[in-house]
A and B are shown apart, each in its own frame.
Chain A
């Protein structure tokens, strides 16, 4: 079945640094890909998505490009802020229909002022 491998954390950066969190996937076909974010004490929320190859998802300054050649969907941000401190999860459909997702293990990002 479909699966995702995510960069191990934690990641600690200074404010305004460049962020990359790696995500690679194994899937049948070309499913939609997602990044979810979990802020401290909260549930997950959708950060961005891409529905087909070469699509770029973007939101709140974060970007991720769906690259089928490398089966990757790396999350990037040019200048992180303290408020970006959270856990980031890469996700894709489990396969088949019924809208089930499988998540990576998550990457904890801490941004220091």
Chain B
């Protein structure tokens, strides 16, 4: 079974530029999550999708971050414009979204450096 795929793995941009991350979840997983992991901290949930609908985006800085999950499969997370404090690893995870929904499967992440 293929795991959660993310790209790119690394990205370096200057502040005020824009960047986009892509995630392909495990086939059949209805729920998709985007997390931000700042160095030395645990992952912080940014947004959760159930199929192609948003379940929770309360922690997403909506003035600069946006995310979509068209057709309920792949997802993209965008930052525009980026700030220095956005430097972090962005993790995508997926789960079945059923009774075992807390068992989340994570991708390798995208390490973003904003200079």
Partner of A49, one of B44, B91, B103, B105: B103
Residue-wise interface mask of B (75-105) relative to A, using a CB-CB cutoff of 8 A (1 in contact, 0 not): 0000000000000000101010100011111
Partner of B108, one of A34, A42, A104, A105: A42
User: Smallest Cβ distance from A24 to chain B, in angstroms?
Assistant: 15
Is the CB–CB distance between A100 and B107 below 8 Å?
Answer: no
- Residues on B close to A: CB < 8 A? 4, 31, 33, 40-45, 48, 50, 55-56, 91, 93, 95, 97, 101-109
User: Smallest Cβ distance from A77 to chain B, in angstroms?
Assistant: 20
User: Smallest Cβ distance from A56 to chain B, in angstroms?
Assistant: 18
- Residues on A close to B: CB < 8 A? 6, 32, 34, 41-46, 49, 89, 91, 93-94, 98-106
Residues of A within 8 A of B106 (CB): 43-45
